[in-house]
């Protein structure tokens, strides 16, 4: 498939109640491993990609290095690739779109694009985030690529008390609708782990909803029943791999004879 065909195939995987499952990767090796396991598409997690290179999350990994990693992943398999692009490395809409254009040049066909103000806290006003999404969509259309913009709201991640998540639902729904009007392709609500609340988001959203699998989250069957169209695993595959690596290394070093 060419890049546009990959973009269209990726979008078609997002079906309400029959979600595409994305077990997030961080480099070409993990991409090939997950592809061989049966994945239909690939998606990076920003935390994992950064950690694998020794950086913290929050756009601390240099943009040039992230772009090179994307190129290597694209070259490792024939599957569509979505890249967690955080805030597109720019608050300015035009610069953000220019940065996403570089990601398209690397061969990616999708992005996660979040509304938190990276490195400063809080979230962008709805109107500003919508304008940033619109600039990215217009750039992709000029290039003839049906870029999948997975618009992420950080409202739930920034509220640690799950008991307060119901109070954020109206704003989240408003953001999802505004992002859809601006040209987003999907709506990502990481941090929200209540199946009932996720179901209400799905019912109100004009876009396929992405839920993140994490400890305490509903299982795949429950998320599908809630109407989710995409399930991703964020940093947890990388963290599980690192814990196993650490455990095996500790066994070896504790038993080593000097």
- Residue ranges of E strands in the chain: 20-22, 42-43, 81-84, 110-114, 148-152, 186-188, 209-212, 230-232
Spatial separation of the C-alpha atoms in residues 3 and 228, rounded to whole Å: 26
Q: Report phi then psi at 85, rounded to 5.
A: -105, 15
Q: What is the pLDDT of residues 156-195, one digit of tens each?
A: 999 999 999 999 999 999 999 999 999 999 999 999 999 9
Averaged pLDDT for residues 199-215: 97
Q: Quick check: helix, strand or coil at residue 253?
A: helix
- Write down the pTM of the prediction: 0.96
Say if CB 41 and CB 49 are below 8 A apart: no
Say if CB 179 and CB 133 are below 8 A apart: yes
Averaged pLDDT for residues 63-74: 98
Query: What's the pLDDT score for residue 44?
Result: 98
- Contacting residues for 239 by C-beta, under 8 A, at least 6 apart: 48
Spatial separation of the C-alpha atoms in residues 43 and 82, rounded to whole Å: 5
Give residue 258's pLDDT band: very low, low, confident or very high (50, 70, 90): low
Taking 70 as the threshold, does the pLDDT of residue 243 lie above it? yes
Query: What's the pLDDT score for residue 101?
Result: 98
Query: What's the pLDDT score for residue 256?
Result: 78
User: What are the residues facing 151 on neighbouring strands?
Assistant: 113, 187
Say if CB 146 and CB 140 are below 8 A apart: yes
Query: What's the pLDDT score for residue 109?
Result: 98
Q: What is the pLDDT of residues 110-127, one digit of tens each?
A: 999 999 999 999 999 999
**Per the structure, how many domains does the chain have?**
1
| CATH code for the domain of 138 | 3.20.20.60
- Contacting residues for 197 by C-beta, under 8 A, at least 6 apart: 165, 166, 169
Q: Residue 105 is part of which domain span?
A: 3-255
Query: What's the pLDDT score for residue 61?
Result: 98
- As a dihedral over the C-alpha atoms of residue 100, residue 103, residue 107, residue 111, rounded to 10 degrees, the angle is -60
Query: What's the pLDDT score for residue 257?
Result: 63
Give the chain's mean pLDDT: 97
What six digits make up the tokens of 48?
């994992």
């Amino acid at each position: 498939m060419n890049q546009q065909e990959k973009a269209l195939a990726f979008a078609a995987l997002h079906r309400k109640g029959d979600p595409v499952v994305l077990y997030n990767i961080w480099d070409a090796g993990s991409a090939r491993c997950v592809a061989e396991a049966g994945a239909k598409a690939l998606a990076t997690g920003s935390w994992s990609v950064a950690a694998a290179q020794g950086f913290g999350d929050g756009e601390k990994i240099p943009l040039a290095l992230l772009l090179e990693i994307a190129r290597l992943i694209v070259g490792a398999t024939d599957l569509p690739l979505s890249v967690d692009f955080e805030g597109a490395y720019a608050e300015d809409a035009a610069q953000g779109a220019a940065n996403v254009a570089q990601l398209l040049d690397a061969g990616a066909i999708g992005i996660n694009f979040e509304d938190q103000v990276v490195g400063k806290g809080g979230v962008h006003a709805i109107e500003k985030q919508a304008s940033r999404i619109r600039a990215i969509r217009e750039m992709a259309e000029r290039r003839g690529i049906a870029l999948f913009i997975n618009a992420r709201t950080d409202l739930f991640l920034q509220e640690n008390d799950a008991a307060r998540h119901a109070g954020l639902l109206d704003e989240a729904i408003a953001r999802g609708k505004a992002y859809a009007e601006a040209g987003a392709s999907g709506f990502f609500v990481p941090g929200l782990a209540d199946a009932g609340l996720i179901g209400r988001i799905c019912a109100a959203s004009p876009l396929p909803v992405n839920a993140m699998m994490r400890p305490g989250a509903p299982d795949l069957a429950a998320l599908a029943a809630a109407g989710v169209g995409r399930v991703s695993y964020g940093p947890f595959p990388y963290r599980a791999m690192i814990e196993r690596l650490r455990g095996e290394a500790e066994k070896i070093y504790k038993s080593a004879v000097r």
